[in-house]
Structure 1
Amino acid sequence: MAGMRAGGVVAVFDVGKTNIKLSAVDADGHVLETLSVANPVREGPPWRHHDLAAIRGWLLDGLGTLAKRHALQGFVPVGHGSGGVLALADPDMGDGAALPMIDYEQPLPEDIREAYAPLAGPFFDRGSALMHGATHQARQLFWMEREAPQAVAAARWYLGIPQYWAWVMSGVAVSEASVLGAQSHLWNVPERRWAAIVHARGWERLMPPFARAWEAVGPIRPALAARHGLPQDLAIFAGGHDSSVNYYRYQAAGLREASVVSTGTWIVGLSGGTPLARLDEHRGMTCNSDVFGAPLGGVLSMGGREFAAIAGSDAPAEPVAVETAARLAARGTMAMPSFGDSDSLFPGSAGRGHIRGEPPATPAERKALAVLHCALLTAECLDALGPGRDVVLDGSFVREPLYPALVAAFAPDRRVRFSLDAYGVAAGAALLAGHGERSQPAPVDLSEAGPLPPVFIAYAERWREAVRRDALAAPTS
């Protein structure tokens, strides 16, 4: 079917772990209006799960609201890659799910963990190390199979989050490379084939045909359009993984060689120039896929959780002053990784986070230390991805003016720019809808990180040396 017409408005449905957003976005990626709601999670049985029925009601009501104010032509779903939906044959059979969608932060039963580990295959079949909780779509499907084999046998599809919502809206089920390439453990990105576990478990029957993220898989189902006052010809796109769609935003702008670091709960670094041989699963590195199906070197650090642990609950709203951060740097006050339950780039560091040197004395100093620490983590992510001059930072951290300047100071051989657009995923998704029509690079507004005093360069060198010493002293398992 036809996709977007010139000048159209796209509804972007962004399903995050904590929050869900529905935005009206123009063809150049400018957000016109956004609705948001918390992503509801229900306790079991059989496990903690997302309330798909509640989300569907909110989505359709929201689309009806946006359609009254904007000339909607397309619907693009995006979402995180750490969950999927085991679906029935008909999206109107209840919420369409054969079993509740597992919350990936749900603790994993030990017998499932032990039984799954030897089935997971080599690194490129997985795309990552075995991560915390119930992360990984293949592990969730294995858990479902062990817990409720009859429900799995009766299911028709297993769908990533964006493709589930494309199916709900259009009735057409598809697979998509960037979602499967986000540590699903179902897809070998470099070889562009199903992971061995898919064949070993007989899951091929659950995997629908592939579509590109920018492909319109069908129009909206007529009954939905009529019931909710939506255009009968609303194009439903396959959609993709949130970080890969954000990365596509810069690809569409012509920045194909840049390393892109998105910040929030996770610091997510992606680079198309990282050699596959450089990827180290023991240092939080991943093999992702861009929306074209090509490998992206990735690195993950739970920066948002580190920030919260250091800054505390009473962090001031005011930006961190350069003088405050310079004072901490001069006296050698350092936050050492890792405060959360993930090693990330620093094997053996989980739960060992601590402050070294004179502790911060005020909330402003604690916030300054948190910003210093997260900038250092970002620089380490860039170092892991390998050489490459151009860097783009975006997400929640760049709203702190000192953060991009610190990253530039800690990575002096790179050109660091940043985007203050708070809706990068929505912008990338809207650009996807116009992928086939675009003849010029998409517009993107980037700012340049400014210079800082040399005290910060010396501080980074001392911090890295301390991290190396801690790594040598850490107990080995």
Structure 2
Amino acid sequence: MKEKLRVCAVFDIGKTNKKLLVFDQNYQIIKEEQTKFEETLDDDGFPCDDLIRLNNWLKSSFENILQNTDFEVVGLNISAYGASFVQLNAEGKPLTPLYNYLKDFPKALRQQFVENHGNDVFTATASPELGMLNSGLQLYWLKYVKPEIFHQIRYSLHLPQYCSFIFTNNPVSERTSVGCHTLLWDFQKNDYHAWVEAEHLHSVQQKPLASNTIGLTDNNIAMGIGMHDSSAALVPYLKSFDEKFILLSTGTWAISLNPFNDEPLTAAELEKDCLCFLNYEGKPVKASRLFAGNEHERQTKHLAEYFEKEVDYYKQVKFDHDLVWLLRNKFKQATPDTADVGLLKDCPFVERNINLFKTYEEAYHQFMLDLVAQQVASLSLVMGRTNPKKIFVDGGFSKNEIYMSLLAETYFNKQVFASEIAQASALGAALVINEHWNNQPIPEQLIQLKRYF
């Protein structure tokens, strides 16, 4: 009889895509399923994730994996998006829809919060003021807008911990979910902020557990307590490299992460969309964000229309050093000192007259010069005194030769790498519980690197 393969299953719950990945003991993906759910409407008519459907999908997908005769499932974990609470009653049943973090936060309630608790809360909790994206404010909103629901809440679980709860029935709090722009965690005090107690938010005041904590499912499988997906994506790098580095994780947002910078966040940094969160070991990670992927999509559509090209024509444009030199001599260039990186600030390219560019290639190179100037300004916010010598870029921009070449030119005194890693968040969630399911050493080649000069 063929021996079953020992595996770890990970649910990776994104806002758009929901995935189930199965890893073998060498961290190769041996099965991958992906699905999308239609959003439903919450009790105010605002779109939100369908909690009932998510719940059913998690259970049925896991049941299917357990019935696969090729696998012996010995580990299970969750990586999921943050800033979302599931409110449970005393019986462990959800009381509310999974409210969307993009829902508007009432202005009058914001004013009331600041009057009662001061503006310093945002700096102390390393949380830019983001309304419902500060998950603590979701509880505050429930308390004052829907008090009849608020008073029934026994546990407020961040989404990753709720997904774990489905399998273990154990309601817990976890470091990476609590320590990510939630407005709940006081980084200096290393405990919940005083406003949480002042407002009697007892449903969130459990001590956050380490990310490698496990429980057991009904069938005695080692079950992780879930992780915030951005923090999970950092785990493979922390496990693979001893020397200091910055990870620039790119998608719709370009997020610069420095796990070695524990300098307290300043009010000025906060205004420039800089924040801190806790990594899987409970240590602060300084992070800054730039809406770079969104800006790239916007500008490439505009350039394609103007120059009558296909919308993805930029993929054919090769890095041209001579053209960069020519543009630098022809036009005044944005610099990291002048580029504005506050919340959702425009790229300097927006101010340029597109009629001055003879070709798509010329305009696209100038756009990338402007975008990289802004990116360097964002990166410099997290550099700190640690000044790491390595920068890893993963996600969409790691495949963009022009972006990578300009970044490497700027950081000529550092090593800049494009990094290729499949399903980093899910991989991180499997790695963090490695000791509980895997009797093999962690492979050295988890990440493929390409250096740019």
- Using structure 2 for the length normalisation, give the TM-score: 0.84
Give the equivalent residue in structure 2 for 1:243.
230
Distance 1:7 1:257, change over 3 A: farther
Would you say the 8 A contact 2:123–2:270 is kept in 1?
Answer: no
Report whether the alignment pairs 1:138 with 2:125.
Answer: no
- 1:19-418 matches, within 5 Å, as 19-46=17-44, 47-67=46-66, 68=68, 70-91=71-92, 96-118=93-115, 119=117, 121-131=120-130, 134-219=132-217, 221=218, 232-255=219-242, 257-277=244-264, 279=266, 280-312=269-301, 314-316=310-312, 319-323=315-319, 327=323, 330-331=326-327, 345-346=341-342, 349=345, 354-359=350-355, 371-386=368-383, 387-418=387-418
Q: How far has the Cα of 1:7 moved from its partner?
A: 7.3
Q: Within 1, Cα distance between the matches of 2:26 and 2:243?
A: 18
Q: Within 2, Cα distance between the matches of 1:246 and 1:7?
A: 25
Percent sequence identity is 20
The residue matched to 2:96 in structure 1 has which SS?
A: coil
Would you say the 8 A contact 1:29–1:428 is kept in 2?
Answer: no
Q: How far has the Cα of 1:380 moved from its partner?
A: 2.4
Gapped regions of structure 1 (runs ≥ 5): 1-5, 222-231, 338-342, 452-477
Q: Within 1, Cα distance between the matches of 2:230 and 2:242?
A: 16
Distance 1:156 1:98, change over 3 A: same
Q: Within 2, Cα distance between the matches of 1:277 and 1:303?
A: 25
Give the equivalent residue in structure 2 for 1:3.
none
Q: Within 1, Cα distance between the matches of 2:72 and 2:313?
A: 38
Of stretches 192-201 and 232-241 in structure 1, the one that deviates more from structure 2 is 232-241
Distance 1:203 1:278, change over 3 A: closer
- Which amino acid is 1:295 matched to? P
Q: Within 2, Cα distance between the matches of 1:234 and 1:146?
A: 41
Give the equivalent residue in structure 1 for 2:305.
none
Q: How far has the Cα of 1:295 moved from its partner?
A: 0.8
Q: Within 1, Cα distance between the matches of 2:300 and 2:325?
A: 16
The residue matched to 2:132 in structure 1 has which SS?
A: coil
The residue matched to 2:421 in structure 1 has which SS?
A: coil
Give the equivalent residue in structure 2 for 1:447.
449
Would you say the 8 A contact 2:349–2:366 is kept in 1?
Answer: no
Of stretches 328-337 and 111-120 in structure 1, the one that deviates more from structure 2 is 328-337
Q: How far has the Cα of 1:193 moved from its partner?
A: 0.1
Q: Within 1, Cα distance between the matches of 2:168 and 2:361?
A: 50
- Which amino acid is 1:426 matched to? A
- Which amino acid is 1:176 matched to? E
Q: Within 2, Cα distance between the matches of 1:34 and 1:141?
A: 35
The residue matched to 2:277 in structure 1 has which SS?
A: strand
Q: How far has the Cα of 1:263 moved from its partner?
A: 0.9
**Aligned residue-pair number:** 425
Distance 1:16 1:145, change over 3 A: same
Would you say the 8 A contact 1:31–1:426 is kept in 2?
Answer: no
Of stretches 144-153 and 322-331 in structure 1, the one that deviates more from structure 2 is 322-331
Q: How far has the Cα of 1:372 moved from its partner?
A: 4.5
Distance 1:114 1:66, change over 3 A: same
Per-residue CA shift, 1:239-286, capped at 9, x if unaligned? 211111111111111345211111111111111222424651011110
Of stretches 388-397 and 374-383 in structure 1, the one that deviates more from structure 2 is 374-383
Distance 1:157 1:403, change over 3 A: same
Would you say the 8 A contact 1:267–1:303 is kept in 2?
Answer: yes
The residue matched to 1:354 in structure 2 has which SS?
A: helix
Q: How far has the Cα of 1:442 moved from its partner?
A: 4.8
Would you say the 8 A contact 2:348–2:370 is kept in 1?
Answer: no
Q: Within 2, Cα distance between the matches of 1:86 and 1:187?
A: 19
Would you say the 8 A contact 1:189–1:293 is kept in 2?
Answer: no
Q: Within 2, Cα distance between the matches of 1:233 and 1:180?
A: 27
- Which amino acid is 1:65 matched to? N
Of stretches 401-410 and 420-429 in structure 1, the one that deviates more from structure 2 is 401-410
Would you say the 8 A contact 1:124–1:190 is kept in 2?
Answer: no
Q: How far has the Cα of 1:318 moved from its partner?
A: 6.5
Would you say the 8 A contact 2:77–2:224 is kept in 1?
Answer: yes
Distance 1:18 1:329, change over 3 A: farther
The residue matched to 2:289 in structure 1 has which SS?
A: strand
Distance 1:7 1:301, change over 3 A: farther
Would you say the 8 A contact 1:88–1:157 is kept in 2?
Answer: yes
Gapped regions of structure 2 (runs ≥ 5): 303-309
Distance 1:273 1:146, change over 3 A: same
Per-residue CA shift, 1:357-392, capped at 9, x if unaligned? 545566666665555554444322321112221111
Distance 1:312 1:117, change over 3 A: farther
The residue matched to 2:151 in structure 1 has which SS?
A: helix
